[in-house]
Chains A and B, each alone.
Chain A
Amino acid sequence: MKKTGAQIIIDALIQEKVKVVFGYPGGVVIPIFDVLYDTKELEFILTRHEQAAAHAADGYSRATGEVGVCIATSGPGATNIVTGIATAFLDSIPMVAITGQVASPLLGTDAFQEADIVGISRPITKHNFLVKSIEELPTMLKQAFHIARTGRPGPVLIDVPKDVSMAVMENYSYPEEVAIRSYRPHLTGHMRQIKKAVAAIDNAERPVIYAGGGIIHSGAHRELLELAEKTNIPVTTTLMGLGGFPGTHPLFIGMPGMHGSKAANYSLQECDLIISVGARFDDRVTGHVDKFAPKASIIHLDIDPAAISKIIKVDIPVVGDAKNILTSLNKLVRKRKPDAWNDQVSEWKGEELFTFEDSDAEIKPQAVIKKIYEITKGEALIATEVGQHQMWAAQYYLFDGPRHFLTSGGLGTMGFGMPAAMGAAMTNPKKPVIDIAGDGSIQMNIQELATLSINRIPVKIVILNNEYLGMVRQWQDLFFNKRYSSTCLRGGSLCKTCVGGDKCTKAYVPDFVALAGSYAIPGFRATSPDQVEQTLRNGLAVDGPALMEFMVSPEENVFPMVPAGRPIDEILEG
């Protein structure tokens, strides 16, 4: 079939069963957008910034497991998606980013809107392609989707020069098969290693399962549940693994690490065996690496051989897909009854994993999250930005299923939440989609209120407004003698001496409710604890997007906290 490069790109998206594409046009991608104009099989969402298009594609992927797709133009369009690609890369999210590039003869000449995006994105993509001729285009598109979604997933970028998208291919057909000789991900675990793991689990006295985002990518949540219930081994999941194991399950002990539960951290420090599944021993989890889990042998199940023994020396590595390995493991592992170790872990866990002191006088941010949990019956899709609100969401919203918590764990990208929630909402989840945000983060992609409004995308935005960049302020509070340098969003860096609190005469800007109004989005504000529930109900009842602002206690800190670089049983409790 005769097709132009631009038509081939759109046809590939259709063949790959992509339903929604996020992006922003520009000079060199006009040919692609021209084809989109007549395409009925795809829905295209025009964001207000390319970064948001990348996060939206990422959010779409996190909510479904399918490959998210975004399109941006060359130069600044391409550099604007860099943060979005890096965010997806660090959390192993399958994404295909298509960028326009200046025409091939102009490559390397500092042409208008030229940036070497293939060079720039090399360390933050699983793979990337510069398409040098239309003949390569179909194969590269096919490979891009294959690479993005298989093995350890990740973002793939395809850079398409304008002359390639305008060129014509006489006998186009989309390839049916992919053959990449150098890329064959290990999917099934080695039986000998699995048997070793089984023996270690059967012989352990104080085992803990430590599960990460790999559970969710692999769709191994049922198998994980089976393993835990068969063996009665307590389960901690990382931030990325939340929802991979039911948050309300008696064996669940919360997330580990810097803002993890005491139960998770003490269990890891005291256990004699860690069964790590699709987790990567991130520094926010391990704290002081040399003092992490000193008594434990480690089984590490991971699809990525490079993740094995990267941070912590592993005793029994099993490389493969979590679902496959756990299925084999579950058949062989012995049943185990709850014993003294379970009693000890339950004692650490107590009644609730996380607690805070509520107040009648001011709104506690944790109380807002708990109320959201209550009202949505734990069924909402929750996206977050990055900072204190993110940690509170992770602590107080109990996720019972996978793909319900969308958060930038690895890169920690402020401004991620609203566009990611937008991507998730485009999957028609039939559940509320809520972006839990701080007043700092939300402003990093605030322009997307326009996209939500125009397309009537039903994202509910909850802003926990403490008038600070709260997480940095918390570190300044705890480790920098309360010197709140550039973290107060009333004064910023302008106030030489802070008079603080009620004495401060500066007005807080923006007025988020009024701002929402200017985008024709209903806005609601709660300033006292008694208004919290009604404000949430008002916002959630809106058909379409809504914004809810909660004026929360300004100097609330996230606890428990393990200071960076300390062993994870050295816990500050506020």
Chain B
Amino acid sequence: MSTHTISVLVENHSGALSRIAGLFSSRGYNITSLTVAETDDETASRMTIVVDGEEEILEQIVKQLNRLIDVIKVIDFANDVPVEREMLLMVVDTTKSNRHEIIELGNIFGARVSAVAPTSITMEMMGTRRHIEDFIMMVKPYGIKEVVRSGTIALAQPRK
């Protein structure tokens, strides 16, 4: 099994998303993360799909993505390291005594406090998927109330 980050530029209209998702689900593949939004061109959306699967099957899916009428362009970041970011919002249990410790921990990861309540704080962070997973692991012992992750967005490295 390997993890691929696949970027798909698609026509911005109804049906495109389920057509694309269908290629994964028909193989029994679960999408790890999926983000979709308009690009600078409002008629096109960019999807970033992170998925685990067999190498050959993912290659096949990429070809089938290219075949879809709604798909304008597909980039499979199988081997390239793209510019990759994910956003995290997380509510962490706090006490008077450990609040500072958690904020300190956040500082190491570049996480900011976005809201504070008497027994919890909400932290926000942007980073790579790996980076975000590390932060969650570090905070877990303090008690996590809720986590929401945006899913990865990715672009190719600019050519030098």
The 8 A CB mask of A287-315 against B (1 = contact, 0 = none) is 00000000000000000111011100000
* Cβ-neighbour of B22 out of A122, A305, A308 (below 8 A): A122
**CB pair A183 B15 closer than 8 Å:** no
CB distance from A566 to the nearest CB of B (A): 23
**CB pair A306 B64 closer than 8 Å:** yes
Of chain A, the residue at the smallest CB distance from B60 is: A310
**CB pair A180 B60 closer than 8 Å:** no
CB distance from B147 to the nearest CB of A (A): 31
Could you say which residues of chain B place their CB within 8 Å of the CB of A183? 69
**CB pair A127 B69 closer than 8 Å:** yes
Given A306-B60, A306-B64, A310-B60, A147-B69 contact (CB < 8 Å): yes
**CB pair A123 B69 closer than 8 Å:** no
CA distance A183 to B11 in the complex (A): 11
CB distance from A569 to the nearest CB of B (A): 25
The 8 A CB mask of B9-30 against A (1 = contact, 0 = none) is 0110011001100100010000
Q: Does A349 contact B (CB under 8 A)?
A: no
Q: A120-166: which residues lie under 8 A (CB-CB) from chain B?
A: 122-123, 126-128, 130, 147
**CB pair A123 B15 closer than 8 Å:** no
Q: B1-50: which residues lie under 8 A (CB-CB) from chain A?
A: 10-11, 14-15, 18-19, 22, 26
CA distance A462 to B22 in the complex (A): 41
CA distance A306 to B60 in the complex (A): 7
CA distance A123 to B19 in the complex (A): 8
**CB pair A126 B15 closer than 8 Å:** no
Q: Does B86 contact A (CB under 8 A)?
A: no
* Cβ-neighbour of B63 out of A118, A127, A306 (below 8 A): A306
CA distance A340 to B22 in the complex (A): 50
**CB pair B69 A306 closer than 8 Å:** no
**CB pair A123 B11 closer than 8 Å:** no
Q: Does B67 contact A (CB under 8 A)?
A: yes
**CB pair B67 A306 closer than 8 Å:** yes
Given A122-B15, A122-B22, A130-B14, A305-B69 contact (CB < 8 Å): no
CA distance A306 to B67 in the complex (A): 7
The 8 A CB mask of A415-429 against B (1 = contact, 0 = none) is 000000000000000
**CB pair B18 A182 closer than 8 Å:** no
Of chain A, the residue at the smallest CB distance from B19 is: A122
Given A118-B15, A119-B18, A122-B18, A305-B72 contact (CB < 8 Å): no
CB distance from B13 to the nearest CB of A (A): 9
Could you say which residues of chain B place their CB within 8 Å of the CB of A126? 69
Could you say which residues of chain B place their CB within 8 Å of the CB of A308? 63
**CB pair B72 A182 closer than 8 Å:** yes
**CB pair B63 A123 closer than 8 Å:** no
Could you say which residues of chain B place their CB within 8 Å of the CB of A305? 63, 66-67
CA distance A31 to B71 in the complex (A): 34
**CB pair A182 B60 closer than 8 Å:** no
**CB pair A182 B71 closer than 8 Å:** yes
CA distance A300 to B145 in the complex (A): 55
Q: Does A181 contact B (CB under 8 A)?
A: yes
Could you say which residues of chain B place their CB within 8 Å of the CB of A180? 69
**CB pair A181 B18 closer than 8 Å:** no
CB distance from A5 to the nearest CB of B (A): 19
Given A305-B63, A306-B63, A310-B60, A182-B22 contact (CB < 8 Å): no
Could you say which residues of chain A place their CB within 8 Å of the CB of B69? 126-127, 147, 180, 182-183
Q: Does B70 contact A (CB under 8 A)?
A: yes
CA distance A128 to B72 in the complex (A): 17
The 8 A CB mask of A159-185 against B (1 = contact, 0 = none) is 000000000000000000000111100
Q: B108-153: which residues lie under 8 A (CB-CB) from chain A?
A: none
Residue in B11, B66, B67 with the greatest tally of chain A CB atoms within 10 Å? B67
CB distance from A366 to the nearest CB of B (A): 38
Of chain B, the residue at the smallest CB distance from A127 is: B69
Could you say which residues of chain A place their CB within 8 Å of the CB of B18? 119, 122
Could you say which residues of chain B place their CB within 8 Å of the CB of A119? 18
Of chain A, the residue at the smallest CB distance from B61 is: A306
CA distance A388 to B59 in the complex (A): 37
Could you say which residues of chain A place their CB within 8 Å of the CB of B14? 130
**CB pair A182 B70 closer than 8 Å:** yes
CB distance from A570 to the nearest CB of B (A): 26
CB distance from B75 to the nearest CB of A (A): 14
Of chain B, the residue at the smallest CB distance from A304 is: B67
CB distance from A45 to the nearest CB of B (A): 29
CA distance A306 to B64 in the complex (A): 6
CB distance from A347 to the nearest CB of B (A): 37
Could you say which residues of chain B place their CB within 8 Å of the CB of A130? 14-15
**CB pair A123 B26 closer than 8 Å:** yes
**CB pair A306 B15 closer than 8 Å:** no
CA distance A309 to B73 in the complex (A): 21
CB distance from A494 to the nearest CB of B (A): 38
CB distance from A423 to the nearest CB of B (A): 26
Could you say which residues of chain A place their CB within 8 Å of the CB of B70? 127, 182
**CB pair B22 A123 closer than 8 Å:** yes
CA distance A128 to B16 in the complex (A): 10
CA distance A126 to B69 in the complex (A): 8
Could you say which residues of chain A place their CB within 8 Å of the CB of B26? 123
Of chain A, the residue at the smallest CB distance from B67 is: A306
Could you say which residues of chain A place their CB within 8 Å of the CB of B11? 182
Could you say which residues of chain A place their CB within 8 Å of the CB of B72? 181-182
CA distance A182 to B20 in the complex (A): 14
Could you say which residues of chain A place their CB within 8 Å of the CB of B59? 309
Of chain B, the residue at the smallest CB distance from A310 is: B60
CB distance from B123 to the nearest CB of A (A): 39
Q: B57-107: which residues lie under 8 A (CB-CB) from chain A?
A: 59-60, 63-64, 66-73
CB distance from B41 to the nearest CB of A (A): 11
Of chain A, the residue at the smallest CB distance from B59 is: A309
Jot down 16 A-B pairs with beta carbons below 8 A, ordered by A.
Answer: A119-B18, A122-B18, A122-B22, A123-B26, A130-B14, A147-B69, A182-B10, A182-B11, A182-B70, A182-B72, A305-B63, A306-B63, A306-B66, A309-B59, A310-B60, A310-B63
B residues in contact (CB < 8 Å) with A: 10-11, 14-15, 18-19, 22, 26, 56, 59-60, 63-64, 66-73
Q: Which 3 A-B pairs have the closest CB atoms?
A: A306-B63, A182-B72, A127-B69
